[in-house]
Chain A
Amino acid sequence: QVQLQESGPGLVEPSGTLSLTCNVSGGSITSGSYYWSWIRQPAGKGLEWIGRIFIGGSTNYNPSLKSRITISGDTSKDQFFLKMRSVTAADTAVYYCARGRGHDAEELDSWGQGTLVTVSS
């Protein structure tokens, strides 16, 4: 059974760059027809979809974040990444990585436990 685990700094300074890694275990990110996604959730609020990457390299991003984010992957390490530039306090949230089925309903069927990122000086 596939497992996902987020990692990265828990504290980022305002105007800095948030960098997160999602490690995938129990399966290769190149196997099957899946995409790999990032989602965030500010404390006490709802889920916000950030973006996704298909292995093959194509990406889709939330238009409200598109100018500041890059999602990439390393198939040799079964990892994918999120970089978010010019962060502000509004980017403080729990960040989740998740696997999505790459066809039909495209549902997110496996999630990491989430990692809290705080933007503060």
Chain B
Amino acid sequence: DIQMTQSPSSLSASVGDRVIITCRASQSISTSLNWYQQKAGKAPSLLIYGAYNLQIGVPSRFSGSGFGTDFTLTISALQPTDFATYFCQQTYNNVLAFGGGTTVEIK
């Protein structure tokens, strides 16, 4: 099975900060990598698909990059609504898997 490792597991940041979250796959997954945002008490929602494609309706301050085993989610200028937990997910094979999550907290 492909394992997904996110780092950091949590971070503290201020409004306006640039935030970078990384996700590493245990083997190459091409661009079969998606990112989700989950706010407290809510279901996750899709942010980025295929490593770098922005889901319709998601603000352009979110961006994704990477290929193979190493991926990043970048928030260019953190907004108050962005404090949440972020998960990566690989869809390379028929056993889909999520990363452990990164919680972005207010500094």
- Roughly how many angstroms separate A105 CA and B95 CA in the complex, as a whole number? 14
Residue of B nearest to A58 (CB): B94
Q: Which residues in B have some Cβ–Cβ distance to A below 8 Å?
A: 1, 31-34, 36, 38, 42-46, 49-51, 53, 55, 87, 89, 91, 94-101
Closest Cβ of chain B to A30, distance in Å, is 21
> Which single member of B31, B49, B98 contacts A46 (CB below 8 Å)?
B98
Which residues A53-101 have CB closer than 8 A to chain B?
Answer: 60, 62-63, 96, 100-101
Closest Cβ of chain A to B55, distance in Å, is 7
Pairwise interchain contact B50-A105, C-beta atoms closer than 8 A: yes
> Which single member of A47, A109, A113 contacts B98 (CB below 8 Å)?
A47
Question: By DSSP majority rule, is chain B's interface helix, strand, loop, or mixed?
Answer: loop
Pairwise interchain contact B32-A105, C-beta atoms closer than 8 A: yes
Which residues A23-73 have CB closer than 8 A to chain B?
Answer: 37, 39, 46-49, 52, 60, 62-63
The interface residues of chain B lying within 8 Å CB-to-CB of A105 are 31-34, 49-51, 53, 91
The 6 nearest A-B residue pairs measured at CB: A105-B50, A107-B49, A106-B91, A111-B43, A105-B49, A60-B94
Pairwise interchain contact A114-B43, C-beta atoms closer than 8 A: yes
Knowing A46-B87, A47-B98, A48-B98 are in contact, say whether A109-B55 is a contact too (CB < 8 A). yes
Residue of A nearest to B101 (CB): A46
Knowing A46-B87, A109-B55, A111-B44 are in contact, say whether A104-B50 is a contact too (CB < 8 A). yes
Closest Cβ of chain B to A108, distance in Å, is 6
The interface residues of chain A lying within 8 Å CB-to-CB of B100 are 46
- Roughly how many angstroms separate A113 CA and B101 CA in the complex, as a whole number? 19
Residue of A nearest to B52 (CB): A105
- Roughly how many angstroms separate A89 CA and B33 CA in the complex, as a whole number? 31
Residue of B nearest to A61 (CB): B95
| 11 A-B contact pairs sorted by A residue (CB < 8 Å) | A46-B98, A46-B101, A47-B87, A49-B95, A49-B96, A60-B94, A105-B31, A106-B32, A107-B89, A109-B55, A111-B44
